[in-house]
């Protein structure tokens, strides 16, 4: 049995630079890996299966649509996977992508273009660290480590990436004021996000940035004490740092 960590991905900045004829969006993003991680136990088996536990297990599929199982198919392997979820599902932190990337590493699969067919964040999660990510996510250029403390506020919401990109198209491709072009579209899809943004800013005095397509907001620095009251409203507040810095 092999034990692996699948580290969360944080998109520090995201520009949507275009849309291909096949509908995939082109991006130019800065991404970093965080200490926050899921845990996987993987062992070869005649048939692939997955068991999911942990604080964010609810909502994670265990059928053939699960990204870990799809990664096994891509790599031509079969295995039993036990997954403990500490990264929120649908939170914009690349949890599913990180899990799939861990499976691909176990399978010694390192084709970033192939991995991008499963999900745009998976190539970065395969590489990890800090990188500039372009194309549809398959072009990953590693950058020097950057130490960064961040505070995550994870509301009791889930944000659909396809729905957010569709809204971005419908809105005419707005440019984000706070380093994320998808923020306006994400709020259009899930209006409750705006209330969480305003509550964070009121409590810590800094404007938060939406992580990817949401629903997690983040603020640079450690603001756990100032934001602790949001847990009474159902949010999870996590102080973490970039990995390896």
The domain total for the chain is 2
Each residue's pLDDT tens digit, 179-225: 999 999 999 999 999 999 999 999 999 999 999 898 999 999 999 99
The domain boundary residue, chosen from 142, 162, 192: 142
pTM: 0.91
35 and 17 fall within a common domain: yes
The domain boundary residue, chosen from 142, 159, 192: 142
129 and 210 fall within a common domain: no
CATH number reported for the structural domain that contains residue 95 in this entry:
3.30.230.10
23 and 117 fall within a common domain: yes
Each residue's pLDDT tens digit, 150-188: 999 999 988 888 999 999 999 999 998 789 999 999 999
HSE-CB of 233 using CA atoms within 13 angstroms: 14
The domain boundary residue, chosen from 126, 142, 158: 142
18 and 134 fall within a common domain: yes
Query: What beta strand segments (E) does 21-142 contain?
Result: 25-44, 49-53, 79-84, 130-135, 139-142
Tell me the residue range of the domain where 34 lies.
Answer: 2-142
Each residue's pLDDT tens digit, 107-124: 999 999 999 989 889 999
pLDDT greater than 90 at residue 89:
no
Query: Active-site residues: which are they?
Result: 9, 121
**CA–CA gap between residue 167 and residue 138 (Å, rounded):** 23
């Amino acid at each position: 049995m092999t034990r692996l960590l699948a580290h969360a991905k944080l998109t520090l900045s995201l520009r949507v630079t275009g849309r291909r004829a096949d509908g995939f969006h082109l991006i130019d993003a800065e991404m970093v890996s965080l200490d926050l991680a899921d845990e996987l136990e993987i062992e070869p088996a005649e048939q692939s299966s997955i068991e999911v536990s942990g604080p964010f297990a609810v909502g994670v599929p265990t059928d053939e649509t699960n990204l870990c199982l799809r990664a096994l198919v891509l790599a031509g392997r079969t295995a039993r996977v036990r997954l403990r979820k500490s990264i929120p599902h649908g939170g914009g932190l690349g949890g599913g992508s990180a899990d799939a990337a861990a499976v691909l590493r176990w399978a010694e699969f390192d084709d970033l273009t192939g991995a991008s067919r499963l999900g745009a964040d998976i190539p970065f999660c395969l590489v990890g660290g800090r990188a500039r990510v372009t194309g549809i996510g398959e072009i990953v250029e590693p950058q020097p480590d950057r130490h960064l403390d961040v505070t995550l506020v994870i509301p009791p919401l889930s944000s659909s990436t396809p729905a957010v990109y569709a809204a971005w198209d419908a809105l005419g491709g707005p440019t984000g004021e706070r380093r994320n072009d998808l923020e306006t579209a994400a709020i259009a899809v899930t209006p409750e996000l705006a209330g969480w943004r305003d509550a964070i800013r009121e409590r810590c005095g800094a404007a938060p940035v939406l992580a990817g397509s949401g629903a997690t907001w983040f603020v640079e620095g450690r603001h756990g004490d100032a934001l602790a009251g949001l847990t009474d409203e159902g949010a999870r507040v996590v102080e973490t740092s970039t990995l390896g810095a």
